[in-house]
Structure 1
Amino acid sequence: MKISAGFTLAYDCPKPTPMLLVLNIHPSRRADLLTDQVLEFDRPLEAWGYLDGFGNACARIIAPEGRTTISTAFTLYDGGLPDVVVPDAPQHDIRDLPDEVLVFLLGSRYCDTDRLADLAWSLFGHTPPGWGRVQAICDYVHARIAFNYQKADATRSAAGANVEQTGVCRDFAHLAITLCRCMNIPARYCTGYLGDIGVPPVDDPMDFSAWFEVYLGGHWYTFDARHNRPRIGRILMAVGRDATDVALSTNFGASTLARFEVVTEEVTTA
């Protein structure tokens, strides 16, 4: 199937402001593009691309004084299959993990493993290691947190989400990732597009989505504690330790988000 996706964002800056942008799709999905996916700016500015330490396609800009609008629109081929489910995927012993995976066992800005380790072992120490343990964690997080756009908090950590029991998709991901890491399962944060494809549409405005991946049986597998079911049509943008590594924009100076529109939908033919 074909998916049409893109966004329009606008930032107000009182003076020229350096920014890091994580707004391109992930290099692993570029082979699926049916049209170009490039960042477009409504005014001349200095911009250049780079790959960060996690392999994400990022950009650096100097946003001029005033309002700068950034946009992209593209069409992408997707196999139309739901997230892969491998119930017998095994958990690795720590000694058998590749070196580059170890960082996804460590605590990070929003994944405060030190505060949740005792809880994790009390809840999941009896579960069979591997896929079943990750699913048990997703079941817990899905039931623990109530999704509420009005309760979004950019400073909320995984431990905070567990206590407050409310939040948005990033909170579901952070809590699940943290509990996985506490159980010695490498887990990384993912951000990207996820439209209402194969599910009933919702009334909430379209947004970017957060989910996570775990390393089991030599592969990274997708899990989504918010929806807690395999979904169709994910388009990965970036991966990292937590939301800090994949922020849409990191501003080195004053900046206000003035416009935010996201589109992702299946292309249907009459």
Structure 2
Amino acid sequence: MSTALVTGASSGIGQAFAERLAADGHDLIVVGRRKDRLEALASSLPSVTVEVVVADLSTDEGIDAVAAVAADRSPAVLVNSAGVAHYGPMASLPAAKARELVGVKVVAPTMLTRAALPGMRDRGEGTIITVAGMLAFGGPAPASPLARAIYTGTLAHLVAWTQTLHGELAGTGVTVHVVCPGIVATEFHSVQGMDLSAVPRMSASDVVTGALAGIALGEVVSAPGLEDRTLLDAIFQADVAAFTAQSPTLATRYRS
């Protein structure tokens, strides 16, 4: 039986991924900070083997510990779903929270993926799924009262990173995918004291369904709540057009 390693499995989207992958027959390695919740999840999935790994992915020690597990166990599926809820103006967001956010959403997925890849490449198969969000495309949007520059930047990183990694892994049998949901009905916002109960929100289970369906469709980037896929395609086509149109000559508009 193949094994899936899921971070952020103690709640929300990570827990939904763990439950779905278990239902599909995968043994699990579930990672999170809250041992009691991970053990409760393990108890609720008696049909598969569930290994609990308690780790804080905002720290180098936590990342290194889980990376060692990923390298040693070589899971068939890696789900980078750990998240942290730190919104706030960049100038006033405490340094510790800014570092934690970058650690969980940038450093951890990078290092865990790096650790899992050799085994996947050797086998000629494997799947890496990373959870980002539609805010990855929100940089040019009008200013929001919810200051979240660092958070938005981490999600944009995950999209570009996954797209580039997809190119690097072409022909290896390893699939990489990033899922970009909008607002999801989890405790992500409530832990920040935000009440979004009146706002329409997608379920965590639907996010997982969208990601897995996107993989089956061959999508590298999926947006479960976006009906018109051509909107994403237009973004990516414009990205490539701008990248390939660059010149070593200073553009006319910048000449005095």
**TM-score w.r.t. length of structure 1:** 0.25
Higher percent of residues as strand = 1
**TM-score w.r.t. length of structure 2:** 0.26
Query: Which structure would you say has the larger RCO, counting Cα contacts within 8 Å and 6 or more residues apart?
Result: 1
Higher percent of residues as helix = 2
